Amino acid sequence: MAWVISEMAGNDQAILPFFNTLLHSVAHNRVLKRCGSIPISVTRHDFICAEDVALSAEQVQAWNVLFPCGSNQCILALCGARLIAARQYSGEMEEAMIKINSLTKRFGEHVAVDNLSFDVKPGEVLGFLGPNGAGKSTTMKMLTGFLTPDGGSASVCGFDIRTQILQAQQQMGYLPEGAPCYGDMRVKGFLEFIAEVRGLRGADRQRHVARAVEQVELQAVLGQTIDTLSKGFKRRVGLAQAILHDPQVLILDEPTDGLDPNQKHQVRNLIQQLASGSNKIVVISTHILEEVSAVCSRTVVISRGRLLADGTPEELEARSTYHQAVTVLLQQPVDSQPLLALPGVKAVEVAREGHQLTVIAEPGAVIFPAIGEYARQQQWQVKELSVERGRLDDVFRRLTAEEAA
């Protein structure tokens, strides 16, 4: 009887943490002793497999775990008495890493999430938008195993959140609402503790902690207890614990809440770096619409637990009243009424005591050339002439107002 273990990354060192965990875990040492001596061979393939192993029910439970393998994940699972290995996700995978189908959650008579369905594919940064009480946090808590759905289904990296939640959680990093737990712990000790819970040991643990600390700039507060930190630093500690094990799926609930403008910019850059050019995904729950425009490749809007819109920020902006609107900044106020007679012009908004005009286009109309030509003919003293892509806040307010009506 032999195990054949492969690793996909082409890095011989990546498999070593797997053996480290395997040989030093108390639970698994017991299994090895009871199973007797099992020869192990390592080969280079693009899959992971294992031969049949006769195990007791107790041993089946003990083996039903995931072993971290550096930047990869070697997933061991059990089907009855057969030891199998779940596939890794390759960089070429186009299948959705999060699948949500008719997901529902009720609290008494209140339906918090109502038949919600959407997918998230590798490389996407998904902005999860909705007003307070829309069901965003409830959805995230179901995906991460903190709440059990009342209906529907969902999976993370192929693992069902009802029946395989431990395996799904191993693929995820999660930043929930509020501050991290264990406020009496020092920052470094807390991160080392979380790393150990994630299965990281020794030098590997220290390396992952150091990288997370550097990414969110926590060096100055490593020796402080979490309770003594400002809200912004507590948020950064929470973000560090979410990313330290290099997860495939990162779920962030209001990641920039409490951060100053410089810290927000840094976190947004980090989010883009984490998803850029990789097969990872990031899901961000936020009410800050500029955050969606800055970092998200796709946006889902919900209200009262229902899906209202799903598309790229540009696609949602195109649904705005201000899509293709033209803004004119002027040295001196002018008479804007004649603009209403131009083809494709729907309305004109005047601001800054007449020094700013926003000319709104009819749906599908492109009015920028006509506005520019009219301003030239009238010899307006124009400081700036620009065309708008649309406004997410306008789309958001309209969608959620219609749902509430």
Give 50-68 pLDDT, tens digit per residue.
333 344 444 434 433 333 3
Q: Over the stretch 135-174, which tens digit does the pLDDT of each residue have?
A: 999 999 999 999 999 999 999 999 999 999 999 999 999 9
Q: How confident is the model at residue 258 (pLDDT cuts 50, 70, 90)?
A: confident
The residue ranking higher by pLDDT, 26 or 302, is: 302
Residue 88 pLDDT: 37
Torsion of CA 321, 269, 200, 283, to 10 degrees: 0
Report the alpha-carbon distance of residue 230 to residue 224 in Å, rounded: 11
- Using N-to-C axis directions, what is the helix angle for 187-197 and 202-216, rounded to 10°? 130
Go through the domains of the chain in sequence order and give each one's CATH number. Answer: 3-86 (no CATH), 98-317 (3.40.50.300), 326-388 (3.30.70.100)
The pLDDT value given to residue 266: 84
Q: Is the pLDDT of residue 48 over 80?
A: no
So what's the pLDDT on residue 89?
A: 35
Return the higher-pLDDT residue of 76 and 189: 189
Q: Is the model's pLDDT at 280 over the cut of 80?
A: yes
Of 115 and 183, the structure prediction assigns the larger pLDDT to: 115
Q: Given pLDDT bands bounded at 50, 70 and 90, which one contains residue 277? A: low
pLDDT tops 90 at residue 75:
no
Q: How far apart are CA 401 and CA 244, in angstroms?
A: 39
Q: In this structure, are strands 326-330 and 356-361 parallel, antiparallel, or unpaired?
A: antiparallel
Tokens representing 92 are 């070429």
Quick: pLDDT tens for 349-389: 999 988 999 999 999 999 999 999 999 999 999 999 999 99
Model confidence, pTM: 0.72
HSE toward the beta carbon, residue 83, CA cutoff 13 A: 27
Low-confidence winner among 102-106, 183-187, 254-258, 373-377 (lowest mean pLDDT): 254-258
Q: How many whole angstroms separate alpha carbon 354 and alpha carbon 27?
A: 75
Instruction: Give the chain's mean pLDDT.
Output: 79
What is the percent of the chain with per-residue pLDDT over 90, rounded to a whole number? 60
Judged by average pLDDT, the poorest of 152-161, 213-222, 259-268 is 259-268
